[in-house]
């Protein structure tokens, strides 16, 4: 009997050994490859420029009702504050339109943007109302008011958040890692406060002023879709061919 046990034990040990997987050699850890950024050749880069105009009836300027917060009213010393959702300048120039290259830059990774973009809360209004920022770039949210705000971006392609910010509190810093055009921003305390952020993964964007004009410089030659977005009027787009060292004019008209 004892011999039988011994034989079985030896057999089991042999079986166990044979079932052992062969020892794996430790895989060599490869260092992460450095990101290869696309560099624009200044010898061939060109410019896309144009103008956004509004030909509809000039909108009546509505006064924002800040009655619910005396401190907000006081910040404007009794002066009326007008709604900025559709602002036009001379000759029908459309302000606060966000213009950007929507397609044609695929596969090109641009160097990250340095510095931060400030979104200020001043007089219970966001300043600026419309702005562009690079994906991954820092946005610094500032409260210059004597009242608390609660900033609340509502992204589509990034994460939702809202954060209360007291007067005098340090800037809130945030980065949107993914392109997202446009992210509406509101204040959960003051319902009239609105801003819009265009997050893009390249440096070719602009926000129009009162004359409605824009200019995108240092653009590599190519075929692009250029898009313009306005909060009340929506999006329009056009294709554009930019020849080496060329200049291309693209105009948009609303409605």
Residues that bind other proteins (CB under 8 A): 68, 136, 141, 154-163, 172-178, 186, 188-189, 191
* C-beta closer to other proteins: residue 136 or 167: 136
Task: Show Cβ contacts of residue 196 under 8 Å, excluding neighbours closer than 6 positions.
Answer: 98, 129, 130, 131, 182, 183, 184, 185, 231
Q: How many angstroms separate the first and last alpha carbons of the chain?
A: 99
Task: Give, for 253, the enclosing helix (H) or strand (E).
Answer: strand 252-254
C-beta of residue 108 within 8 angstroms of C-beta of residue 219: no
As measured in angstroms, the least distance from the Cβ of 18 to other proteins is 42
* C-beta closer to other proteins: residue 171 or 211: 171
* C-beta closer to other proteins: residue 153 or 220: 153
* C-beta closer to other proteins: residue 111 or 173: 173
As measured in angstroms, the least distance from the Cβ of 224 to other proteins is 25
C-beta of residue 196 within 8 angstroms of C-beta of residue 129: yes
As measured in angstroms, the least distance from the Cβ of 134 to other proteins is 13
* C-beta closer to other proteins: residue 141 or 250: 141
Determine the distance from the C-alpha atom of residue 55 to the mean position of all C-alpha atoms in its chain, rounded to a whole number. Answer: 29
Task: Show Cβ contacts of residue 38 under 8 Å, excluding neighbours closer than 6 positions.
Answer: 108, 109, 110, 220
As measured in angstroms, the least distance from the Cβ of 130 to other proteins is 18
> How does 80-90 read in b/e, with b if 16+ C-beta sit within 10 Å?
ebeebebbbbe
* C-beta closer to other proteins: residue 191 or 245: 191
As measured in angstroms, the least distance from the Cβ of 162 to other proteins is 8
Determine the distance from the C-alpha atom of residue 42 to the mean position of all C-alpha atoms in its chain, rounded to a whole number. Answer: 26
List beta partners, residue 163: 151
As measured in angstroms, the least distance from the Cβ of 160 to other proteins is 5
């Amino acid at each position: 009997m004892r011999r039988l046990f011994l034989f079985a034990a030896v057999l089991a040990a042999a079986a166990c050994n044979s079932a052992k997987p062969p020892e794996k050699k430790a895989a060599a850890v490869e260092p992460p490859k450095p990101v290869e950024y696309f560099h624009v050749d200044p010898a061939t880069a060109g410019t896309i420029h144009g103008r956004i105009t509004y030909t509809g009836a000039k909108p009546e300027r509505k006064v924002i009702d800040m009655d619910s917060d005396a401190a907000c009213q006081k910040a404007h010393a009794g002066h009326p504050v007008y709604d900025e959702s559709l602002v036009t300048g001379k000759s029908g120039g459309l302000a606060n339109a966000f213009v950007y290259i929507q397609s044609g830059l695929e596969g090109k990774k641009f160097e990250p943007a340095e510095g931060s973009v400030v979104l200020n809360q001043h007089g219970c209004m966001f300043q600026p109302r419309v702005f562009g920022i690079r994906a991954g770039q820092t946005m610094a949210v500032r409260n210059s008011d004597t009242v608390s705000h609660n900033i609340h971006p509502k992204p589509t392609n990034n994460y939702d958040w809202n954060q209360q910010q007291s007067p005098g509190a340090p800037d809130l810093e945030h980065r949107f890692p993914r392109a997202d055009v446009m992210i509406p921003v509101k204040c959960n305390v003051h319902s009239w406060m609105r801003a819009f952020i265009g997050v893009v993964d390249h440096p070719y964007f602009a926000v129009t002023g009162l004359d409605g004009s824009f200019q995108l410089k240092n653009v590599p030659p190519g075929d692009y879709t250029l898009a313009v977005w306005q909060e009340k009027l929506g999006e329009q787009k056009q294709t554009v061919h930019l020849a080496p060292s060329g200049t291309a004019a693209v105009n948009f008209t609303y409605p």
